[in-house]
Structure 1
């Protein structure tokens, strides 16, 4: 939702009128950016699993393919499109967004990292598309679930299409008119971010003391490692700030030893800039924030896509990956070593200086404006 809000803001700055559909709990993010929004039905998050707790049996098909969910999504989106009459619909991994747009005769685009074409997108094609057909969506529209344009919020060097091996994903990509790597889409342009000293001043943090910022994502999937880390933060030789994510209440971590804990922050980029080390699950946004802001990171990935994201920091010499099996024994020694590595800090700053001057949101918005304008001209010609 933060990424979507940033894209919306960039489109407004480019001269567009924007309406954002989002789950009700996230509408405050749009309001904070001055964006008009309306509520959309969304699936509830997975509940936190206790450390060692076995995951539930895998369902026969992904939750996104539930017919009642798809029916409601299509109805809500199509009603909004008819009322707002947009020139283009842009979806951030919402499986019905481009379908609703096509049913209403509007061009559409998706924003998604290429890692999602390994998982879960093949399941979207195998489960969601047949269900859409059963709900009466014409086959040619149901199969073009990505719409007309795919925006990858990264550089091709780190998010290459060559890594997509799934036959289902490859078939879906062939239906597109265009695929564009636009660069990272962060909450704000990295080159507009304040200095480390200014960030600490705004956050009320000591100007010189070491600071570690810990965030393992917005879902509850990182609850197990988060529980382990939370109990160890008191041993870290630095001020520690722990963000649990909106789906893990801080009270679920009664044994935490962090100096500061919160469920959610609007200031993730500010904390990342202020920190000497970011501990992350290797999510795309948190990894790119650390790289673009010049802050070393320690990644604790939970699945292959996060491992791939974290590998970028490793390849650039600005961070390390700690395997899940090593977290309990190696977390404190690793954090301590990284905090004392001046070469690491220097390399991270150098990388940040190189990466900070490309704003993916502005580039994406510029292309949307051009694509939507041309599509509108074509529709007028046909009329």
Structure 2
């Protein structure tokens, strides 16, 4: 099961279209695979191409629950979605938005720390290269991911309490 998602804006429309265009190549190599593209609230799903094995939805309630069972996710480089994938040890490809300081530097740094995800550059990745990367990442062994330890709020509270 492959998920393609761009979050709540339409800024990732071109990334989503490229991923959808790569789907027939992925599906040809893995005919048993299914793909779900989530357009988000700002992008009309009827504007997106359709292919066999591909479903397009404007929205999926509790997307994080769906991503938790993904064999592969192709996403923008946002922190929330990528860290949900890290916490659930799911294989993923991410495209940080060019010139988006948080995604290019901070999120990428954090994902490198967790040894998670495969970073691609939108402008340097063609449809065929994306399909190849997806096939190589699909069902990838995520045991190399460092464990995600949620509990930051408790650690912060402890540090603050020590200062009081």
Q: Compute the TM-score of the two structures, normalised by the length of structure 1.
A: 0.35
Contact residue 244 and residue 250 of structure 1 kept, 8 A: yes
Contact residue 317 and residue 347 of structure 1 kept, 8 A: yes
Corresponding residue to 2:4 among 214, 219, 223: 214
Equivalent pairs counted in the alignment come to 146
Structure 2 regions of 5+ residues with no counterpart? Answer: 158-164
Contact residue 72 and residue 138 of structure 2 kept, 8 A: yes
C-alpha distance 359-312 of structure 1, shift in aligned 2 (>3 A)? closer
Aligned to 1:346: 143
* Aligned-CA RMSD value: 2.2
1:304 Cα deviation from its structure 2 partner:
2.8
SS of the residue 2:3 aligns to: strand
1:267 Cα deviation from its structure 2 partner:
2.1
1:228 Cα deviation from its structure 2 partner:
1.5
Contact residue 22 and residue 131 of structure 2 kept, 8 A: yes
SS of the residue 1:241 aligns to: strand
1:286 Cα deviation from its structure 2 partner:
0.4
1:258-313, CA deviations, whole angstroms, 9 ceiling, x for partnerless residues? 52210111121111111122211011210121112221221111133222313422
Contact residue 299 and residue 310 of structure 1 kept, 8 A: no
Aligned to 2:87: 292
1:288-342, CA deviations, whole angstroms, 9 ceiling, x for partnerless residues? 2111222122111113322231342233222110001233241110011112533
Q: Compute the TM-score of the two structures, normalised by the length of structure 2.
A: 0.77
Corresponding residue to 1:358 among 133, 137, 151: 151
C-alpha distance 280-258 of structure 1, shift in aligned 2 (>3 A)? farther
1:331-374, CA deviations, whole angstroms, 9 ceiling, x for partnerless residues? 110011112533xx2224x52xx42x4275xx6xxx7xxxxxxx
Q: Partners in 2 of 1:296 and 1:234 — Cα distance?
A: 20
Q: Which has the larger radius of gyration?
A: 1
1:159-213, CA deviations, whole angstroms, 9 ceiling, x for partnerless residues? xxxxxxxxxxxxxxxxxxxxxxxxxxxxxxxxxxxxxxxxxxxxxxxxxxxx221
Q: Partners in 1 of 2:25 and 2:80 — Cα distance?
A: 28
SS of the residue 1:213 aligns to: strand
Aligned to 1:69: none
Q: Partners in 2 of 1:335 and 1:316 — Cα distance?
A: 20
Structure 1 regions of 5+ residues with no counterpart? Answer: 1-210, 368-383
Q: Which has the higher helix share?
A: 1
1:226 Cα deviation from its structure 2 partner:
1.3
1:242 Cα deviation from its structure 2 partner:
0.8
